Structure 1
Amino acid sequence: MTSDTRSQPANLLRFNGQDYLVDVGDGAAGQSGAAGVQTKALDAIFISHLHFDHTAGLAGILGLRFQTNGTDPLTIYGPPETRQLVDGLLASMEPGATANYGVAGAAPVDHRAGIRVVELRDGDSVEVDGMTVTVRENSHYSFPAGSELAERFQSLSYRFDLPGRSIVYTGDTGPSAAVEELATGADLLVVEMMDIPLTIERLLAANPGMPEPVSRAMQSHLSEHHLSATQVGEMASRADVRSVVVTHFSGWEKSEQGHMQYLQDIALAYDGPFVIADDMDAF
Structure 2
Amino acid sequence: MKFEVTILGSSSSTPVFNRNPSAQLLNINEKYILIDCGEATQNQLLHFGLKANRIDQIFISHLHGDHYLGLVGLLSSLHLNGRTKPMDIFGPSELTEIMNIQFKHSQTELKYPINFRATRSDGPEKIFQSYDVIVESFPLDHRIPCTGFKFTEKQRLRKIIKSKIEELSIPTEMIPLIKKGYNFTDKNGKVHQAEDLTIEADKPKVYAYCSDTVCSWKYLSNIENADMLYHESTFMHDMLSRAEETFHTTALQAGEIAQKANVKKLLIGHFSARYKDLQPLLEEAKTVFSDTQLAIEGKTFEI
TM-score, structure 2 as length reference: 0.71
**Structure 1 residue 59, shift from structure 2 partner:** 1.6
What is the distance in 2 between the residues matched to 1:54 and 1:80?
Answer: 15
Deviation at 1:22, TM superposition (A): 0.1
- Pair 1:116 & 2:115 matched: yes
Larger relative contact order (Cα-Cα within 8 Å, sequence gap ≥ 6)? 2
Whichever structure has more strand as a proportion of its residues is: 2
Deviations for 1:149-201, whole angstroms, at most 9, x for unmatched residues? xxxx620011111142100000111113232211100000011112268989x
Matched residues, percent identical? 24
Is the counterpart of residue 77 in structure 1 residue 77 in structure 2? no
Structure number with larger C-alpha Rg:
2
Cα distance in structure 2, aligned partners of 1:260 and 1:127 = 36
Aligned amino acid, residue 277 of structure 1: A
Query: How many residue pairs end up in the alignment?
Result: 235
The correspondence of residues 187-226 of structure 1 with structure 2, limited to 5 A, is 187-195=227-235, 223-226=245-248
Does the Cα contact within 8 Å between 1:63 and 1:93 map onto a contact in 2? no
Q: Distance in 1 between matches of 2:118 and 2:215?
A: 24
The equivalent residue for 1:100 is: none
**Correspondence for 1:138 among 126, 140, 147:** 140
User: Tell me, which stretches of 5 or more residues in structure 1 are unaligned?
Assistant: 98-109, 142-152, 201-218
Separation in 2, partners of 1:89, 1:15: 31
Contact 2:83 2:112 in 1 (8 A): no
Deviation digits for residues 121-165 of structure 1, max 9, x if unmatched?
Answer: 131212332311111111112xxxxxxxxxxx6200111111421
Q: 2:207 aligns with which of 152, 167, 170?
A: 167
Distance 1:282 1:242 in 2: 17
2:251 is the alignment partner of 1:252: no
Q: Which amino acid aligns with 1:27?
A: A
> How far apart, CA to CA, are the structure 2 residues paired with 1:69 and 1:198?
50
Q: Indicate the residue corresponding to 1:28 in structure 2.
A: 41
Asked if 1:53 is matched to 2:66, the reply is yes
2: CA distance, partners of 1:175 / 1:195: 12
Matched, 1:262 2:281: yes
Distance in 1 (CA, whole Å) between partners of 2:110 and 2:129 is 24
More displaced 10-residue stretch of structure 1: 34-43 or 24-33: 34-43
> Secondary structure, in 3 states, of the residue corresponding to 1:12?
strand
Partner letter of residue 140 of structure 1? Answer: H
Distance 1:49 1:220, change over 3 A: same
What do you get for the CA RMSD once the two structures are aligned? 2.3
Aligned pairs for 1:4-23 within 5 A:
4-23=17-36
Change (3 A) 1:119 1:19: same
- Between Structure 1 and Structure 2, the one with more helix by share is 1
SS at match of 2:231: strand
Gaps of 5+ in 2: 1-13, 155-203
Equivalent of 1:42, from 44, 52, 55? Answer: 55
Matches within 5 A, 1:73-112: 73-94=86-107, 97=108, 110-111=109-110
SS of 2:300's equivalent in the other structure is: coil
Give the letter aligned to residue 252 of structure 1: Y
Letter of the 1:263 counterpart = L
